[in-house]
């Protein structure tokens, strides 16, 4: 455990160094993260510009959901996304070999070594937006709700991690599918809409989309005092099961891994 922390610390330092070496990229990435953050808010503002309620959620609550999603996706992009973006190249070009040869869990190295700190701007934007919506819409946030929401946010993060990893493992079976990353970017954005919106879908599609509705919706429900303990703990269990399933699939898929010819 200690070794993993030390290695993670080294990853952290190396990513900071990388960030500081390329100043033009730093600005470039910061601006683009800010642009995506603003885009998410602009989208919900445009959509709710002429619509007061959707699926039982009013305009303020929908914006709160977007803000919470912004925090979640900001953290996800900061600590995890870059690794997933590189996964298809790592697998296709046989660079997974180096990861497999290290005396550390390959999933750990593969999914955590790269970071993108400029995405933290989305976290900040989300927090600012939550504060402003909460005050303008007179939404009272209690400390219990806040802490609970934070826990559920971490659960949501782990859930999203498992989903991305589960999908990207398929690149081992078909290395040309590098655009699965783009698919996951698109599909992840389902997380900023209420679950009731998806109930119109046929059952199979709804079940496929369902995990995404647990990514940030529960945190907002917690914040608004709409979460039951049953749902709260159920989510933890659901997240754990998904993580274990993903891990087992990963270990199984490694047998199919054929490193590219040298």
Choose, by CB under 8 A, the member of 132, 135, 136, 258 that binds other proteins: 258
**CA angle, 65 as apex, 64 and 70 as ends, to 5°?**
95
What is the Cα–Cα distance from 239 to 233, expressed in whole angstroms? 10
Task: Work out which of 138, 140, 143, 200 binds other proteins, going by CB under 8 A.
Answer: 200
Q: Applying CB under 8 A, which of residues 31, 131, 241, 244 lies at the interface with other proteins?
A: 31
Q: C-beta of 63: minimal distance to other proteins in Å?
A: 14
Considering the rule CB under 8 A, would residue 16 count as an interface residue with other proteins?
no
Q: Does 208 sit near other proteins (CB under 8 A)?
A: no
Nearer to other proteins, 66 or 145 (CB): 66
Do residues 107 and 161 make contact, with C-beta atoms less than 8 angstroms apart?
no
The CA–CA distances, whole Å, from 245 to 20, 239, 248 equal: 38, 10, 5
**In angstroms, what is the minimal distance from the CB of 19 to other proteins?**
10
Residues 178-197 that bind other proteins (CB under 8 A): 178-180, 182-183, 186-187, 189-190, 193, 196-197
60 vs 45: CA distance, rounded Å: 10
Q: Which stretch binds other proteins (CB under 8 A): 7-15, 121-129, 158-166, 224-232?
A: 7-15
Instruction: Give residues 35-74 in contact with other proteins (rule: CB under 8 A).
Output: 35-36, 39, 42-43, 46-47, 49-56
Distances (CA, A) of 102 to 21, 96, 105, 107, 148: 27, 10, 8, 11, 37
Q: Which two tokens stand for residue 197?
A: 């919106």
Do the beta carbons of residue 91 and residue 171 sit within 8 Å?
A: yes
How far apart are the C-alpha atoms of 59 and 251, rounded to whole Å? 44
CA dist 59 to 2, 64, 167, Å? Answer: 46, 9, 33
Closest to other proteins by CB, 97 vs 241, is: 97
Residues 143-162 within binding reach of other proteins (CB under 8 A): none
CA distances from 126 to 65, 121, 185, 192, 227 (A): 10, 8, 18, 12, 21
Does 140 sit near other proteins (CB under 8 A)? no
Minimal distance, residue 236 CB to other proteins, in Å:
27
Which residues bind to other proteins, rule: CB under 8 A?
3, 6-7, 9-11, 13-14, 17-18, 21-22, 24-25, 28-29, 31-32, 35-36, 39, 42-43, 46-47, 49-56, 93-95, 97-98, 100-104, 174, 176-180, 182-183, 186-187, 189-190, 193, 196-198, 200-201, 255, 257-259, 261-262
């Amino acid at each position: 455990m200690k070794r993993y922390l030390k290695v993670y610390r080294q990853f952290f330092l190396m990513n900071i160094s990388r960030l500081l070496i390329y100043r033009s990229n730093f600005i470039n990435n910061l601006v683009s993260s800010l642009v995506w953050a603003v885009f998410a808010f602009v989208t919900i503002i445009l959509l709710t510009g002429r619509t007061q309620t959707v699926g039982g959620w009013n305009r303020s609550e929908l914006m709160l959901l977007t803000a919470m999603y912004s925090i979640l996706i900001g953290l996800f992009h900061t600590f995890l996304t870059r690794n997933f973006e590189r996964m298809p190249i790592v697998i296709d070009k046989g660079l997974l070999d180096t990861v497999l040869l290290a005396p550390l869990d390959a999933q750990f190295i593969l999914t955590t070594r790269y970071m993108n700190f400029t995405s933290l701007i989305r976290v900040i934007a989300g927090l600012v937006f939550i504060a402003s919506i909460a005050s303008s819409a007179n939404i009272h946030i209690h400390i219990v709700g806040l802490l609970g929401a934070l826990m559920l946010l971490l659960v949501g993060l782990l859930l999203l991690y498992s989903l991305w990893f589960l999908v990207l493992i398929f690149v081992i079976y078909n290395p040309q599918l590098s655009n699965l990353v783009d698919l996951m970017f698109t599909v992840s954005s389902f997380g900023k809409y209420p679950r009731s919106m998806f109930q119109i879908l046929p059952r199979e599609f709804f079940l496929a989309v369902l995990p995404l509705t647990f990514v940030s919706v529960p945190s907002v429900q917690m914040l608004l005092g709409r979460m039951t303990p049953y749902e709260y703990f159920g989510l933890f269990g659901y997240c754990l099961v998904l993580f274990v399933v993903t891990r087992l699939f990963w270990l199984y898929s490694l047998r199919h891994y054929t490193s590219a010819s040298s």
